[in-house]
């Protein structure tokens, strides 16, 4: 079938921003793994597609002091294979390794994944748990937004304005001694999207073992990744022991209003949130491991 839309292929960011200024009904195409399916199924029918794959300068990984910056066009597979990322953000590499399959990861980009805002996706939860933020460029300038500062607005909805483009994802490195995990639970085939995904990062006092900070993000269960700072803070000042973990897990299960879909009913998902938050906290609650990695489901 033919589809009626114009295609623009800018080569530079300024050129892209000029195109965005026109403000037509536009979709940006990066890896194309989501947009092409949406168009062919008639879920979106933009007047114009801007193919940003050839925009200069959006495809690099930069390892800075205490943070790594991923250009929005970096394929998930490149992050997964990047040795610098493996050293500084092992939990991210571990999470990406189980997204879809290698064919999809070769094409899908980190920026595209975030902007698609599919509720049944792995990277948003783990990036949020790591405290990632994104750079949004527009003809008017640039703004930086933390993912957990309302970036995800709903099903396939973000705060990115029509004249903005996500240019980079900045991920701070967890401090030494921090432990992180991402548990991805699939209820059907091994290549399914997650029924529940739990990312958790804990920073503890190296001497006393008391928790200083805990972040727990649950993805795949509601419109957007779910985080409850009040529940996270219950672990602060204590050891992340099974009783606290169970209390936090029960709290997440109670507070999240889970969706009902082909991967599980709301009833089932509520139980799985409890199980996998508990398991994620158990994975990062014991003695620090050599690679800072927790268990995987």
Partner 1 sequence: MTSPTGALGASIQALDGVSRVTGRIRYASDARSAGALHGAILGSPHAHARIVSIDTSALRGMTGVRAIVTSRQLLERSADPYLGGVIRDRPPVALDKVRFAGEPVAAVAAVDEDVAREALERIRIEYEPLEAVFDPLAALAPGAPMIHERIRRVVPWRPEIPAEAAGPNVVHRFFQRRGDVEEGFRRAALVVENVFVSPPVQHAALEPHSTIATATPNGAVVLTASQNPFVLQRQLAQLLGVPTAHVRITVPPIGGAFGGRLTARLEPIALLLSLEANGRPVRIELNGSESFALGVQHPARVALRTGVDGDGRLIAQEAICHYTSGAYADTTPNLISRAYAATGPYLVPNLVAESFGVYTNQVPSASFRGYGITQVCWAHEAQMDAIAAAVGMDPLAIRLLNVVHPGDPFTTGEPLPDLHYDDLFRSAAQAIGWSEGTRSIVGTRVRAKGLAATIKGMATPTTSNATIRLHGDGSIDALVGTVDMGQGSGTALAQIVAAALAVNPSAVTIRVPDTDAAPFDSMTAASRSTFCMGLALRDAAARLVEQLAEYAATELEAAPSDLVLGQNGFSVRGAPTRSVDLVQVVRASGRQIMIGAGSFIADRSQDGHVVRLDAEGQGYGSAEWHPAVAACEVEVDLDTGHVRVIELSVALDIGTVVNPRLANLQVEGSAMFAIGQALFEEVRYDENGHLANRTLSDYQMPSSRDVPEVLLVDFRDPVGSHEIHGVGETALPPVRAAVVNAVGRAIGRSMTHLPLTPETILRAVLTGPLVAGEP
**Residues at the contact surface with partner 1, assessed by CB under 8 A:** 1-2, 41, 101, 185, 187-193, 262, 264-265, 268, 271-272, 275
Nearest distance in Å: CB 133, partner 1: 30
Whether 107 contacts 75, CB under 8 Å? yes
- 233 or 265: CB nearest partner 1: 265
- 144 or 262: CB nearest partner 1: 262
Packing angle between helix 242-255 and helix 266-285, nearest 10 degrees? 150
Nearest distance in Å: CB 98, partner 1: 9
- 33 or 109: CB nearest partner 1: 33
Nearest distance in Å: CB 5, partner 1: 14
Question: Cβ contacts of residue 228 below 8 Å, gap of 6+?
Answer: 216, 251, 252, 255
User: Would you call 42 exposed, middle or buried from its count of C-beta atoms within 10 A (0-12, 13-18, 19+)?
Assistant: exposed
Whether 160 contacts 136, CB under 8 Å? yes
What residue has token string 């029918």?
45
- 275 or 293: CB nearest partner 1: 275
- 21 or 295: CB nearest partner 1: 295
CA 269 centroid distance within chain? 20
Strand, coil or helix: what is 297? coil
Nearest distance in Å: CB 152, partner 1: 21
Nearest distance in Å: CB 103, partner 1: 12
Q: State which H helix or E strand residue 169 sits in.
A: strand 165-172
Nearest distance in Å: CB 164, partner 1: 29
- 31 or 131: CB nearest partner 1: 31
- Cα(86)–Cα(49) distance, rounded to whole angstroms? 34
């Amino acid at each position: 079938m033919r589809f009626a839309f114009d295609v623009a292929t800018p080569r530079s960011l300024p050129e892209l921003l000029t195109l965005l200024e026109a403000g037509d009904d536009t979709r940006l195409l990066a890896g194309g793994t989501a947009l092409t399916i949406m168009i062919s199924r008639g879920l979106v029918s933009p007047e114009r597609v801007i193919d940003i794959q050839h925009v200069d300068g959006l495809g690099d990984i930069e390892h800075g002091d205490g943070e790594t910056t991923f250009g929005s066009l970096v394929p998930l597979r490149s992050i997964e294979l990047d040795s610098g990322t493996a050293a500084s953000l092992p939990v991210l590499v571990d999470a990406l390794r189980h997204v879809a399959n290698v064919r999809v990861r070769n094409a899908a980009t980190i920026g595209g994944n975030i902007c698609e805002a599919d509720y049944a996706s792995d990277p948003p939860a783990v990036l949020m748990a790591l405290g990632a933020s994104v750079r949004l460029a527009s003809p008017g300038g640039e703004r930086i937004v933390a993912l957990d500062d309302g970036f995800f607005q709903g099903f396939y909805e973000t705060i990115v304005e029509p004249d903005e483009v996500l240019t980079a994802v900045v991920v701070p490195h967890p401090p030494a001694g921090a432990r992180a995990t991402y548990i991805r639970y699939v209820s059907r085939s091994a290549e399914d999207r997650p029924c529940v995904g739990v990312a958790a990062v804990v920073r503890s006092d190296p001497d006393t073992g008391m928790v200083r900070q805990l972040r727990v993000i649950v993805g795949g269960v509601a419109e957007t990744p779910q985080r409850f700072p009040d529940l996270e803070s219950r672990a602060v000042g204590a050891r992340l022991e099974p009783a606290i973990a169970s209390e936090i897990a029960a709290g997440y299960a109670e507070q999240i209003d889970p969706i009902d879909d082909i991967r599980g009913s709301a009833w089932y998902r509520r139980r799985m949130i409890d199980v996998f938050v508990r398991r994620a906290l158990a994975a990062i609650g014991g003695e620090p491991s050599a690679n800072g990695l927790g268990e995987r489901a």
